[in-house]
Amino acid sequence: MSIAFEGQVAIVTGAGNGLGRSHALELARRGAKVVVNDLGGTRDGSGASLTAAETVVEEIRAAGGEAIANGANVTNYAEVEAMVRAAAERWGRVDILVNNAGILRDKSFAKVSVTDFRLVVDVHLMGAVNCTKAVWELMREQRYGRIVMTTSSSGLYGNFGQSNYGAAKTALVGFMNTLCLEGEKYGIKVNCLSPTAATRMTEDIIPDKSVLDLMTPESVTAGLVALVAEDAPNRFILCAGAGAYAKARIVETEGIYLTPEQQTAENVLANLDAISDERDQQELVGGLNQTLKFVQKAAASMGVKLG
């Protein structure tokens, strides 16, 4: 089965370099018309220039594709709205949104300023919120859409010096978990990509060139394309890097029930092993499913019949 995007329009943020550039080029190669969005700033988010985005557009056009450059700052909703409006006016629709834009301001939590913490969250989280909000109604009306959030192993598992980045990246998983429920009946699928690749975002973290040579952006883009295909999954956290692919899941153990007289902090602490027992753990879809599980345990223990 070949994946193609003829007649579709894609917006890729942070597409002037690295992963975003790779995503934009491949989507265009497969037939999509692409909005190459990039503020053109440095890795820490300072500065602005359309040069990087325009260079990618030139590459796409040279290969016979269609693309336009856009320098909207994803933290500015008015600029993002104008970007989406320009795409819709030019091509009539927006089918794919890849929320890839990001910056780094790494410092230990003891040393990071609140300003730097907020800026990283604004770009990664609120940038994705702004872009998604700007395309959401359009995708609902056309009853089709594919949206990808770019999360990270730093958010899923933690990484020293990246409390700001990790917090934002984990928040995107929560964002996805609700949007996939709200968008499903409108043909909108929302997924997360957790990439690791050799880009300017990782060049200082992984100094070994032999390792970086394995971590091609193109290997990650293969995963991205799968997540925005017509037959894409929904609510999937795809981890991709160096040609390896895996699924990350948030699971909950079956847990235990304590009677009212046993419901003390001491008993919770004493039962951590039983609470952590991984047998019968499951991936829940929707927060109310946890509530239902807990209430059913309590009712069963007390002999209460639920309506």
Concatenated DSSP letters for the chain?
-----TT-EEEETTTTSHHHHHHHHHHHHTT-EEEEE-----TTS----SHHHHHHHHHHHHTT--EEEE---TT-HHHHHHHHHHHHHHHS---EEEE-------B-TTT--HHHHHHHHIIIIIHHHHHHHHHHHHHHHHT-EEEEEE--HHHHH--TTBHHHHHHHHHHHHHHHHHHHHHGGGTEEEEEEEE--SSTTTTTT---HHHHHH--HHHHHHHHHHHHSTT--SS-EEEEETTEEEEE---B-------GGG-SHHHHHHTHHHHT--TT-B--SSTHHHHHHHHHHHHHHHTPPP-
Q: What is the pLDDT of residues 233-254, one digit of tens each?
A: 999 999 999 999 999 999 999 9
Give the distance, in angstroms, between the CA of residue 48 and the centroid of all CA atoms in the same chain: 23
9-248 folds as Rossmann fold (3.40.50)
Encode pLDDT of 247-274 as tens digits.
999 999 999 999 999 999 999 999 999 9
Taking the mean position of all CA atoms in its chain, how far away is CA 64?
Answer: 29
pLDDT, position 45: 61
pLDDT given at position 92: 98
What pLDDT score does 65 carry?
98
User: pLDDT tens digit string along 135-149?
Assistant: 999 999 999 999 999
User: Which percentage of the chain shows pLDDT scores above 70?
Assistant: 93
List Cβ neighbours of 53 (8 Å cut-off, separation of 6 or more).
15, 16, 36, 37, 38, 40, 69, 70, 71
Q: pLDDT-derived band of residue 208, with 50, 70 and 90 as boundaries? A: low
Range list for CATH 3.40.50.720 in the chain: 9-248
Task: Work out the pLDDT band at 303, boundaries 50, 70, 90.
Answer: confident
**144 catalytic residue (yes or no):** no
Q: Residue 198's pLDDT is what?
A: 78
Dihedral angle, C-alpha 86, 119, 205, 210, nearest 10 °: 0
Residue 171 has pLDDT above 60, yes or no: yes
Length of the chain equals: 307
The pLDDT value given to residue 42: 64
Which one of the listed residues 77, 144, 165, 186 is annotated catalytic?
165
**What's the pLDDT at 279?**
97
